[in-house]
Amino acid sequence: MGKTIIEKIIQDHTQDEVKPGKIVWMDLDIRSARDFGGPNVAKHYEREYRDEPVADPTKTYFTFDLCVPACTLKYADNQQICRGFAKKHRIAVFDVDKGIGSHVLMEEGLACAGKTVVGTDSHLNILGAVGCFGQGMGDVDITFAFKTGKTWFEVPESLRVTIKGGFDWPTSAKDLTLFILKNLGTEKAALKAVEFLGDSTTNLTLSNRITLCSMVTEMAGIIGFVPQFDEPFVQEILDFSGEKMMSIQGDPDAEYSDEVEIDVSGLPPQIAAPSSPTNVFDVSELCGTEIHSGFIGSCTNGRLEDLQEAVRVLKGKKVKEGIMLKIVPATQKVYAELLQEGVLEDLFRSGAIISNPGCGGCAEGHIGLTGRGEVQVSTGNRNFAGKQGKGLTYLASPAVVAASCVRGEICSPEDL
């Protein structure tokens, strides 16, 4: 019998029989820890394994992204703990200047199609965007992974989602993602590997795929793959990471637990209202809701293309007086591209606040908590109560966030 994508990748990393429901030992190509979870990994390691070496320092990394540079004493201490551990074990650190760890692992060509990567980031499954099996885990699991280079994993079932039809600007990959969330909820993809297929997936760029795959976490799925790699896409990843990556496809006779078809023809812009990412509406339904701030960034929408979409709306316009628009590029590399392409200047002229790269603005990071009573539109992936402060958060595309910040209320770019 044929195999699904996830079954193929796992089979490549284990001697055990791979079948949904089976638990296997899986070899890990990369193991990482960030400034959240990382300090516990260091502490567990010191307690359990003392001075014993990690399995392979060249496959082990720290990535600091949550609070960079640290703006609380706790984060500052925690980052120091990790740096000390890294030095002792000769582990490389992508430090506070580098940006979101999952993105850095892709940019560096460390997370590639067919590889296995674990870390303390619950959105590490974003690596599915390049066909890599990334998985977030707890600090106990990551400590063990540092020591042994392995983890155990229960082979998941796979779900096939076929996306039909296409859409035009200002609808974007984020709107597609929110619409899929609306359709799948947190049940249909739960604990499954999801394969996104259909003609319109072929046209998705890398940053589009990153947006889609990042929110498989919110669908409660294990990981999402977009297996259609046509020539331009292969070239795009080559330019991006320096690695030639080939697509991994599910076999025609592979077994899928379920198949879902979602028609996105003519899809209008979407928005998720507080306090769940699955609480999705057409933007037109919430048009006119007063806002106080906007955030464009996060692992979901922090790449050059995302910020170009924002500029497409903001160019020649101004963020409304009294509204804060916070912009956080995903990585240092993106920041350099923004400079080069002149995007940074356009954003600056529109009145946006631009920060150094990282997660800031998504979790309780280095930029932008919301206060009680504050209403924010964000390009992030979670709007649970308390995740970004005490205010209310709506989730939307960069274009919708930009337009809403110009108006001072939720609106679509077409309404301007």
Partner 1 sequence: MERTYFTGKIWVLSDLEGQLIENIDTDQIYHNAFLHITELAKMGEYALGNLEGWKDFPKKAQPGDMIITGRNFGAGSSRQQAVDCFLALQVSLIIAPSFGAIYFRNAVNSGFPVLKSHDVERLVLEGKLETGDQINVNVLSGECTNVTKDFSFGVLPMSEVQHAIFQVGGLFRYGNELR
Residue 319 contact, options ligand SF4, partner 1, none, Cβ 5-8 Å cut-off depending on partner type: none
* Cβ proximity to ligand SF4, 67 vs 180, nearer residue: 67
Write the binding mask 60 to 79 for ligand SF4: x where contact by CB under 6 A, - elsewhere: -----xx-------------
- For position 395 contacting ligand SF4 by CB under 6 A, the verdict is no
Sheet containing 193-197, strands listed edge to edge, beginning at the edge strand earlier in sequence? 223-225, 193-197, 158-164, 258-263
> Are 142 and 119 within 8 A, CB to CB?
yes
Residue 384 contact, options partner 1, ligand SF4, none, Cβ 5-8 Å cut-off depending on partner type: none
- For position 331 contacting ligand SF4 by CB under 6 A, the verdict is no
Write the binding mask 272 to 311 for ligand SF4: x where contact by CB under 6 A, - elsewhere: --------------------------xx------------
Residue 240 contact, options partner 1, ligand SF4, none, Cβ 5-8 Å cut-off depending on partner type: none
For the residues of 150-180, what is the DSSP string, one character each? EEEEEPPPEEEEEEES---TT--HHHHHHHH
Closest to 156 in 3D by CA, of 123, 204, 132, 191:
191
* Cβ proximity to ligand SF4, 250 vs 329, nearer residue: 329
Cα-to-chain-centroid distance, residue 33: 16
Radius of gyration of the chain (CA): 21
Q: Which part of the chain contacts ligand SF4 (CB under 6 A), choosing from 149-157, 247-255, 267-275, 355-363? A: 355-363
- Which amino acid is it at 281? F
The pairing of beta strand 158-164 with beta strand 353-354: unpaired
What's the rounded Cα separation, in Å, for the pair 258 and 111?
28
Q: Which one among 197, 248, 359, 392 touches ligand SF4, defined by CB under 6 A? A: 359
Neighbours of 8 (CB within 10 A): 18
Enumerate binding residues for partner 1 (CB under 8 A).
Answer: 16, 22-25, 44, 48-49, 52, 137-138, 140-141, 143-144, 147-148, 152, 154, 191
Residues that bind ligand SF4 (CB under 6 A): 65-66, 100, 121, 123, 298-299, 359, 362-363, 380-381
